[in-house]
Structure 1
Amino acid sequence: MKLFTCKQIAGIDQLTMKLEPVLSIDLMERASFQIADWVIKNINHDWQIYLFAGPGNNGGDALAVARMLAWSNLKCTVYRIDFGRELKGDPVINWQRLEEQNQVILRKIDSEDSIPEIPVDAIVIDGLFGSGLNKPLDGLAKEIVKQINRSGATIISIDIPSGLFGEDNSKNDLSAIIKADHTLTFQFPKLSFLFPENCEFVGDWTVLPIGLHPNAIEQTETPYHFLTKKFISGKIKPREKFSHKGTFGHALLIAGSYGKMGASVLASQACLRSGVGLLTSHVPQSGYEIIQNSVPEAMTSIDPSETVFSEVPDISRYSAIGIGPGLDKKQETQQALKALLQAKPSKLVIDADALNILSENQDWYDLLPENAILTPHPKEFERLAGASFNSFERLQKQLQFSAKYKVIVVCKGAHSCITLPDGKVFFNSTGNPGMATGGSGDVLTGIILGLLAQNYSAEDATLIGVYLHGMAGDLAATEIGEYSLIAGDLISHLGKAFLQLE
């Protein structure tokens, strides 16, 4: 799914009106019906509904929603913010329709004294300000937001929580943003919904289709994308009848150190479950029996060191290489990693301690092979590229890093963010909080390595791997819950994840 900036979405709205064609008031009616339908199906009909409408189109949506809810005999009161200026455009029509319907209590807010007290057992529908907002709320608008947030009522925001910007909120006033329980957004999620610091404002978000014209969407270029099952399914290669283990590549995993062999075991098992033909796990001497007993399907390459990775084996016979899980940062390991980078392997996944070693030796960045895949969590990325004020700023640094060094970067977390050297950005749609557990990242490394060895491109191996990893987590959480989920559960559910994609 394409993702767009708020300015682009406004342009798609205009193109839809031109191409369909449809009047703006009718497009507003279509969008408002989707909101009203969701509310009718999901709320307690005995509760009073307070709708807050601003002066723009978001307010126009709220007015239309109130009329539609009244048709279903829901108890609604509309509070329209009045800045002393007359309404313009479509909101005027919807205000007049409400007056003619005469089933909704209509109030205006023109001062702090006229802001209503909202009971806890109420539903607030927030239609104060939409995605066109370009400055922080202040004055009366800010006070209304603060009163709504203090109420304890269930808050549903139309399209975007009032006060939140659609992309960068680094200069916003965070005390002047609605804290929604649910956000019902039109056609596409906003970029800011995908950043963790905005979760307290957005709550649970749902995308509602409003019939924006497919040609308008197709014509609008964007670097941003949201991974979907249909998109990923189309990338899975079918297996030919006469395939053999050599067909699906030979992966080399360099992982583990004394006391951290679990990371090597998890990454090895995940690599095998991802469909690789052959896997060799390179481990220190102390890890030999562990890997042989835990992963009998893998071959083993033994490092000269008893405790850590210290020497690069012959890499000429491997289809792809993964390095990092449980590696440690000893001096001999650092020099061995540098030697591996200097050997310029054509397909490489770098994770965990290998990333931490890189961040301590930033002059090695130029040694990174083109299209190498780096999988840091946010703190590891901060070590690589420097601190960021918020996720939007971090995304800009991630894009710059990918472009400068011609590498793919996966910043792991909820809606893991993937940046490509050509400037494309992908956000993941799968996964859950249960995956925030030790070893989860090692599993992702193994999955991507296995796909990379099977001759998937670096881009496709990354996109498929991230999506599969999250899907396996979702399947596991469905069976055992998020609290008890451990990294091994991701591996045991990878087969089911593949079946879902097939």
Structure 2
Amino acid sequence: MGWELALLFPFRNSNTHKGRYGRVLILGGSVGFTGAPVMAAQAAHRIGSGLVNVGVPQEVYPLVAAKAPSESMVFPYDDPKLFETVVSKATVVAMGPGFGLERKSEIFFKTLMSLDLPLVIDADCLTLLARNPDFFQLIRKWAVLTPHPGEMKRLLRMEFSPEERIQVASNFVKDKKITLVLKGVRTVVAQEGKDVFFNTTGNPGLSTGGSGDSLLGIIAGLIAQGLEPFDAACSGVWIHGKAADIAAEKRRTKEGLLPLDVVENIGAALEQMRMHLRLVLDQKSQWQEIQTAYSLYPR
């Protein structure tokens, strides 16, 4: 599976620049949740985004600015002019990590849903969407939703069993401009008109706070670099899970795996993805040589 996804990741030309790899805008953060947008930004950087902006409320701006990667451009999104300037340059908007559920957050979220940009929606913004299902009608480009089972049940307003996940995901995306990433043991990715993707990487070490924020940053970063939402979602969950597998192997335990451990192994996950592709291509080349040689001899 990894080798097929690797076809979406051409090696970078030496004659290139940051402008070719998109600008991710991450929106979130609130009192008590200043780390969430930071973890999303770390992942967006490590997956190869050209630029990363992080917008947070003024009240937590100093804390997030101090925590965020030095490469990130952190700003208070309460400033209307500054927000408009940043949005006008964004390639994709990722929202939800530590976003908050207050009335002012809900109003802001409605504004974001109508942006003429691809959206990646997680965490608190999924809860706000569950409260306001009519917001689906505001989507203009495309949206990737990344709920865990509990959030999915809130979106559906019904219960479902783990065995029903594929059917639930397939039904949910019908007639919607949605790519759904239904997280869990073997994450499911669904989009209308596409075959359901069933992820094969990852381990229980991902069962910790912040894992979803990292995945959000990875998927947004891939969209920023030009991948279609469905391809970005499938590749993102595979890379996220593979990075966790590599991190757990290095640490020799799945317990205590941190989102930063996963983020720091994104590069190794990409390397393994491309290595799988090289092996497959080598095998195909060898098989073609055998077939050619075989055809030279009469039976």
| 1:139-154 aligned within 5 A | none
The reply to whether residue 365 of structure 1 matches residue 139 of structure 2 is no
Unpaired segments of 5 or more residues in structure 1?
Answer: 1-227
- What is the CA distance between 1:336 and its match in structure 2? 0.7
Provide the residue aligned with 2:291 in structure 1: none
| Number of equivalent positions | 270
Q: Distance in 1 between matches of 2:149 and 2:261?
A: 23
State the match for 1:291 in structure 2: 64
Distance 2:119 2:160 in 1: 30
Distance (Å, rounded) in 1 between the aligned partners of 2:194 and 2:48: 29
Confirm or deny that 1:414 pairs with 2:185. Answer: yes
Q: Distance in 1 between matches of 2:158 and 2:164?
A: 9
Match of 2:259 in 1: 487
State the match for 2:77 in structure 1: 303
Q: Which of 147, 155, 164 is the equivalent residue of 1:384? A: 155
CA displacement, residues 319-365 of structure 1 (integer Å, 9 cap, x when unaligned): 111000111111111111101112332x1100000000000111212
- Counterpart for residue 53 of structure 2: 280
Residue 193 of structure 1 corresponds to which residue in structure 2?
Answer: none
How do 1:98-117 residues align onto structure 2 when only pairs under 5 Å count? none
Pair 1:455-2:229 in alignment: no
Q: What residue is the counterpart of 1:230 in the other structure?
A: 3
Instruction: Give the aligned partner of residue 91 of structure 2.
Output: 319
Amino acid across the alignment from 1:476? A
Q: Which protein, 1 or 2, shows the higher relative CO under an 8 Å CA cutoff with sep ≥ 6?
A: 2
In 1, the alpha carbon distance for the partners of 2:84 and 2:162 equals 39
Which protein is bigger by CA-based radius of gyration? 1
Match of 1:350 among 121, 142, 145: 121
RMSD: 1.8
Distance 1:281 1:263 in 2: 11
Does structure 2 conserve the Cα–Cα contact (< 8 Å) formed by 1:312 and 1:339?
Answer: no
SS of the equivalent of 2:88 reads coil
In structure 2, distance between residues paired with 1:343 and 1:415 = 31
TM value normalised by structure 1:
0.52
TM-score, normalising length: structure 2? 0.86
| Offset from partner CA, 1:256-308 (integer Å, 9 cap, x none) | 11110110110011111110010110011233233333211001221228xxx
CA distance in 2, matches of 1:229, 1:389: 29
Tell me, yes or no, if structure 1 residue 397 matches structure 2 residue 168: yes
Superposed, 1:173-192 pairs within 5 Å as none
Find the residue that maps to 1:366 and give its secondary structure.
helix
Which aligned pairs between 1:6-405 and structure 2 lie closer than 5 A?
228-294=1-67, 295-304=69-78, 313-314=84-85, 315-345=87-117, 347-405=118-176
Q: Any stretches of 5+ residues in structure 2 without a counterpart? A: 275-299
Structure 1 residue 423: Cα displacement: 4.5
> What's 2:282 paired with?
none
Change (3 A) 1:343 1:229: closer
TM-fit CA distance, 1:479: 1.2
Give 3-state SS (helix, strand or coil) of 1:289's partner.
Answer: helix
Please report how far the alpha carbon of residue 312 of structure 1 lies from its aligned counterpart in structure 2 after TM superposition: 5.6
Q: Which amino acid aligns with 2:90?
A: Y
Q: Is the 8 A contact 2:169 2:188 kept in 1?
A: no
What is the aligned counterpart of 1:438 among 206, 209, 229?
Answer: 209
CA contact (8 A) 2:8 2:227 kept: no
CA distance in 2, matches of 1:395, 1:386: 17
Provide the rounded CA distance (Å) in 2 between the counterparts of 1:239 and 1:249.
14
The 4+ residue runs of structure 1 with deviation greater than 4 A are none
Aligned partner of residue 260 in structure 1, secondary structure: coil
Q: Quick check: 2:115–2:139 contact (8 Å CA) kept in 1?
A: no
Return the alpha-carbon distance in structure 1 between the equivalents of residues 27 and 62 of structure 2.
16
| CA deviation string 1:152-180 (max 9, x = no partner) | xxxxxxxxxxxxxxxxxxxxxxxxxxxxx
What letter is aligned with 2:174? A
Compared with structure 1, are the counterparts of its residues 341 and 243 closer, same or farther at alpha carbon in structure 2 (3 Å cutoff)?
same
- 3-state SS of the aligned residue for 2:247? helix
Report how far residue 482 of structure 1 moved. Answer: 0.3
**Structure 1 counterpart of 2:186, which letter?**
H
What is the distance in 1 between the residues matched to 2:142 and 2:77? Answer: 27
- Cα deviation, 1:448-500, whole Å, max 9, x if unaligned, reads 01111111111111111110000010001101110121111111111211222
The residue type paired with residue 361 of structure 1 is: N
Deviations 1:45-94 (A, max 9, x none): xxxxxxxxxxxxxxxxxxxxxxxxxxxxxxxxxxxxxxxxxxxxxxxxxx
SS state of the match for residue 316, structure 1? helix
| 1:399-442: CA deviation from partner (whole Å, max 9, x where unpaired) | 12212212100011110000012152001000001110000000
The CA distance in 2 between the partners of 1:479 and 1:275, in whole Å, is 23
Task: Tell me the secondary structure at the aligned position of residue 438 of structure 1.
Answer: coil
CA distance in 2, matches of 1:342, 1:460: 23
